[in-house]
Amino acid sequence: MERDTLPLDTPIQKLRLVDFQVDSDTPCQNIIKRLEDDNELCGVVVVRGNQVLGMMTRRVLLEWVLSRPYGLDVFLKRPISSMVEFHAADFLLLPGECTIAEAAAQAFQRPEETIYDPVVVQMDREVFQLLDVPVLLVAQADAQLAAQKQLQAQQEQMQRVVLALEQERNRGLRYSRDLERQKAEILSQNLELDMERESAQLRLDELARLNEKILEISSLLSKQGRSTFAATFEGVQAMRNLASEMSRSSQELSQELKDINTITELIVEVAGYIRLLSFNAAVEANRSSGAVSGFGAIAQEIRKLAGRTTEASNQIRSLADRIQRKSLESVEAAQSSVQVVQSLSERAQKAQTALEELQQLLNQTSSPRS
């Protein structure tokens, strides 16, 4: 059966004690008989009232009795106090609250002849018991072994703690190196950010200068563009008016040419009548023979006049045809000019619209900076 292991600070009153306390008047034969009957009794405590007169060990009592057979009858009938007085010896008295470590220390400081004697333990004011030294030794050994095991366990735990601390230290070193690396990376990133910030500032300054240029260009475009487009519109409008006037003049000229043709036709018709009249006059002159020779000369002149009239009429018709062709060409050119001017006007209008949109875009671009 495994013994209970007690720590060194355990009071000795919790150990296995021998309860053999007798009064000083108890006969020796009763004590000897008790010792012979119970081999576990290591001795006897002799008290008088609440005072310990002495302590007799089992070895002393039995050896003394066996070594004096002639006086056995004498001493067996006497009280135990007489033997205590006859065989007076020092004994160790300890309170029950004394620890195992303290009891062992005091017990092993006794003289060599009494070092293995039982220790008297005071349990109460009038109660005393004996603590056998082997029991104390076993308790001390068990306690020391337990303490050693506990110390070993503590050492192992301490080693584990040291190992854990070493691991934590290594982890801390890794964390420290990681922090240093992160610190270096952060510093590098800060430098890069500073460089990017400076670059961004340079770009902002460049954008500001470009914005000023854009504002100048927009102002210049706004002023010169408007004046240019105004002049263009005025020129286009003048060309349109001129083309319209040319078209109107060509139409009037065409109408006058129609009137010339009408007059020419009338002249041709008159020339025909004159020719007919000249022919009739010649016929009448021939009938009258020479009496009317003067009238024949007149008829001859009339025929000449009719011929010249016809010739003039042909020339007028030819001239009218040429003028009409030129007039038609002028009308077509004027109409083509009107179309070209209209196209230019539309393109100029689109260009002005694009310029206004560009002006709005430039204003929107420059407004955040302003």
Q: What is the DSSP string of 91-108?
A: --EEETT-BHHHHHHHHT
Q: Which residues pair with 27 in a beta bridge?
A: 79
State the pLDDT at residue 242.
62
Residue 93 has pLDDT above 50, yes or no: yes
Residue 185 has pLDDT above 60, yes or no: yes
Residue recorded with tokens 């400076």: 198
State the pLDDT at residue 11.
93
Tokens for 322, please give them. Answer: 């040429």
The pLDDT-based confidence of 239 (bands split at 50, 70, 90) is low
d(CA 54, CA 92) in angstroms, rounded, equals 10
State the pLDDT at residue 98.
94
Residue 17 has pLDDT above 90, yes or no: yes
**Residue of 31, 29, 71, 30 whose CA lies nearest to 55:** 31
State the pLDDT at residue 95.
94
Residue 333 or 173, more confident: 173
d(CA 47, CA 344) in angstroms, rounded, equals 148
Q: Provide the residue count of the chain.
A: 370
**Residue of 87, 88, 133, 130 whose CA lies nearest to 106:** 133
Lowest mean pLDDT among 86-100, 106-120, 201-215, 283-297: 283-297
Q: Which residues lie below 8 Å from residue 363, measured CB to CB, with a gap of 6+?
A: 218
Q: Which amino acid is at 14?
A: K
d(CA 150, CA 202) in angstroms, rounded, equals 74
Distance from chain centroid for Cα 118: 81
**Residue of 328, 331, 323, 327 whose CA lies nearest to 264:** 323
Residue 255 has pLDDT above 60, yes or no: yes
Tokens for 317, please give them. Answer: 């018709």
User: C-alpha angle 32/35/39, rounded to 5°?
Assistant: 155
Which of 142-156, 290-304, 353-367 ranks highest by mean pLDDT? 142-156
CATH 1.10.287.950 intervals, the chain: 215-366
Element (H, E) at 23: strand 21-23
Lowest mean pLDDT among 117-131, 198-212, 294-308: 294-308
Identify the CATH assignment for 12-131 out of 3.30.70.1350, 3.40.50.10440, 3.40.50.1100, 3.10.580.10.
Answer: 3.10.580.10
**Residue of 153, 144, 117 whose CA lies nearest to 132:** 117
d(CA 235, CA 241) in angstroms, rounded, equals 10
State the pLDDT at residue 330.
66
CATH 3.10.580.10 intervals, the chain: 12-131
Residue 367 has pLDDT above 80, yes or no: no
Tokens for 176, please give them. Answer: 């420290």
* Mean pLDDT across the chain: 78
The torsion of the CA quartet 292, 296, 297, 302, rounded to 10 degrees, works out to 140
State the pLDDT at residue 83.
83
Mean pLDDT of the 267-278 span = 70
Q: Which residues lie below 8 Å from residue 354, measured CB to CB, with a gap of 6+?
A: none
State the pLDDT at residue 1.
47
- Top CATH class of 215-366 equals mainly alpha
Backbone angles phi, psi at 6, to 5 degrees: -110, 145
Per-residue DSSP letter, 13: G
Which of 14-18, 187-191, 233-237, 318-322 ranks highest by mean pLDDT? 14-18
d(CA 260, CA 174) in angstroms, rounded, equals 117
Per-residue DSSP letter, 55: E
Lowest mean pLDDT among 116-120, 191-195, 231-235: 231-235
The torsion of the CA quartet 122, 123, 126, 132, rounded to 10 degrees, works out to -50
Task: Write the pLDDT tens digit of every residue in 110-151.
Answer: 998 889 999 999 998 889 999 999 999 998 888 888 888 888
- Tell me how crowded residue 99 is: count the other CB atoms within 10 A of its CB: 17
Residue 122 or 297, more confident: 122
Tokens for 337, please give them. Answer: 């000019």
Residue 366 has pLDDT above 60, yes or no: no
What are the start-end ranges of the H helices in the chain? 28-37, 58-67, 72-76, 80-86, 100-107, 133-287, 293-366
Which of 91-100, 179-188, 204-213, 274-283 ranks highest by mean pLDDT? 91-100
Residue 58 has pLDDT above 70, yes or no: yes
Task: State whether residue 290 is helix, strand or coil.
Answer: helix
- Share above pLDDT 70 across residues of the chain, in percent, rounded to a whole number: 66
State the pLDDT at residue 199.
86
Residue 2 has pLDDT above 70, yes or no: no
The pLDDT-based confidence of 224 (bands split at 50, 70, 90) is low
d(CA 82, CA 14) in angstroms, rounded, equals 32
Residue 1 or 87, more confident: 87
Mean pLDDT of the 292-313 span = 68
Residue 103 has pLDDT above 90, yes or no: yes
